[in-house]
Amino acid sequence: MHTTDGSGRTDGAEGAPSGGPHEAKHARDAGRVGRRLRRALGQAIADFALIAEGDRILCAVSGGKDSFALHELLVELRARAPVTFEVVAVNVDQGQPGFPADVLPRYMAERGHDFVAVKEDTYSIVTDKVPQGKTYCSLCSRLRRAILYRVARERGCNKVALGHHRDDVLATLLMNLVFAGQLKAMPPKLVCDEGDIVVIRPLVYCAEADLAAFAAERAFPIIPCRLCGSQPNSERRAVGELLEALEARQPGARTNMLAALRNVRPSHLLDAGLWRALGLSVAADDPAPAPLPPPEAAAAPVLVPAARLAAGAPGAVVPATEDGGR
Ligand code: SF4
């Protein structure tokens, strides 16, 4: 079932199969996806100083494509990063019916990864507390997050890495905009209430489609995500459909929305408190916007040179080698 060993494999186009032009093209495309993901991951890490020397990172692994990809990318990054950090994969078996508890331990053991499996039946709590017909996700994820914090403390981890990606960020932005009256998305980095654990989201620039392609390429043994029987709530479904429709009408819409989140003009928003905090008294005339890069280029931001990073983001990891430009 699993065709890669996950240890030192490169996913470039070198060694393309001899099975004809179609397979060779597939291999090249697969290599591009890996490169795009590594660059986007590296850019997010650099932009927000997500990883620092000596970090011990708990990587939450659910068995879904996103967290498998996050773990693989972090493990690969660790091998070539100029700073030393550790990655501990942790799965919480929440007692959902049919959860295949053997899949992740076997996968991690076969590759020699540092892995912890935790079993806590939050499923019974959720099904007991959440009224019939309501989605479980809010309570379920809060309980899971608390378990992850506890395991992080037990294992000496100072950071918890979660697999939320660009499309999660955009869906959250639209949810807050349309249903909550707030202009906010999802922080790439936040500190827990107790102040001792920092949550990081290294995939915030990564497109979900790329993560799906990467997961297929690496043949991760994906665990189905709806074992709990919960369905996305109607608001989340609505923003998902809206994003699909926008993308169909304007290819690259998601890429542009991500670019917008990285290019905020506070003076052109109507938050008086923000104006005061920034000492604004009047907005300057808006210069003509620079043309946006093509979607592919925008999805794969150029790495910040190490010298600039050193000046602006102490402690950040720069994956400087980035496959030697393959
Ligand atoms: S989909 Fe299921 S497992 Fe995931 S957060 Fe929602 S209730 Fe929990």
DSSP string, 48-91: HT---TT-EEEEE--SSHHHHHHHHHHHHHHHH-SS--EEEEEE
Residue 248 DSSP SS3? helix
Contact yes or no for 173/260 (Cβ under 8 A) = no
CA distance 326 to 247: 29
d(C-alpha 255, C-alpha 260), whole Å:
9
The percentage of the chain sitting over the pLDDT mark of 90, rounded to a whole number, equals: 71
136 CB within 6 A, ligand 1 = yes
14 vs 17, 123, 292, CA distance in Å? 9, 45, 32
Using a 6 Å cutoff on CB, does residue 298 contact ligand 1? no
Query: What's the 137 CA to ligand 1 centre distance in angstroms?
Result: 5
Q: Is 137 in the pocket of ligand 1 (CB under 6 A)?
A: yes
Summarised one tens digit per residue, pLDDT across range 234-279 is: 888 899 999 999 999 999 999 999 999 999 999 999 999 999 999 9
67 lines ligand 1 (CB under 6 A): no
**Residue 133's pLDDT band (boundaries 50, 70, 90)?**
confident
Interval between CA 24 and ligand 1 midpoint (Å): 38
Residue 191 φ/ψ, nearest 5 degrees: -100, 140
Burial class, 177, CB count within 10 angstroms (exposed 0-12 / middle 13-18 / buried 19+): middle
Q: Residue 313: pLDDT above 50?
A: no
Testing ligand 1's pocket by substitution, the residue of 93, 127, 141 carrying the most ligand atoms inside 8 A of its CB is 141
* Spatial distance between the Cα atoms of 295 and 275, rounded to a whole number of angstroms: 32
Distances (CA, A) of 74 to 23, 78, 84, 88, 295: 28, 6, 12, 10, 25
Asked whether 162 and 152 are in contact (CB, 8 A), the reply is no
The CB of 60 under 6 Å from ligand 1? The reply is no
CA of 192 to the centre of ligand 1 (A): 21
Residue the block writes with tokens 């827990």: 192
pLDDT greater than 60 at residue 310:
no
Give yes or no for residue 228 having a pLDDT over 90.
no
Site of tokens 């899949």: 103
Tell me the Cα Rg of the chain: 21
User: What is the pLDDT at residue 253?
Assistant: 98
Domain boundaries, the chain: 33-278
Q: List helix spans (H) across the chain.
A: 21-48, 65-80, 103-111, 122-129, 137-154, 166-175, 208-218, 234-249, 253-261, 272-278, 295-299, 306-312
Query: Cα 22 to chain center, whole Å?
Result: 30
Closest C-alpha to ligand 1, atom 2: 228
Q: Which atom of ligand 1 is nearest to the CA of 141?
A: 5
Protein residue closest via CA to atom 3 of ligand 1: 228
Cα separation, 85 vs 64, whole angstroms? 24
pLDDT at 11: 30
Each residue's pLDDT tens digit, 83-111? 999 999 999 999 999 999 999 999 999 99
Question: Structurally, what CATH architecture does the domain formed by 33-278 represent?
Answer: 3-Layer(aba) Sandwich (3.40)
Residue 212 reports pLDDT greater than 60: yes
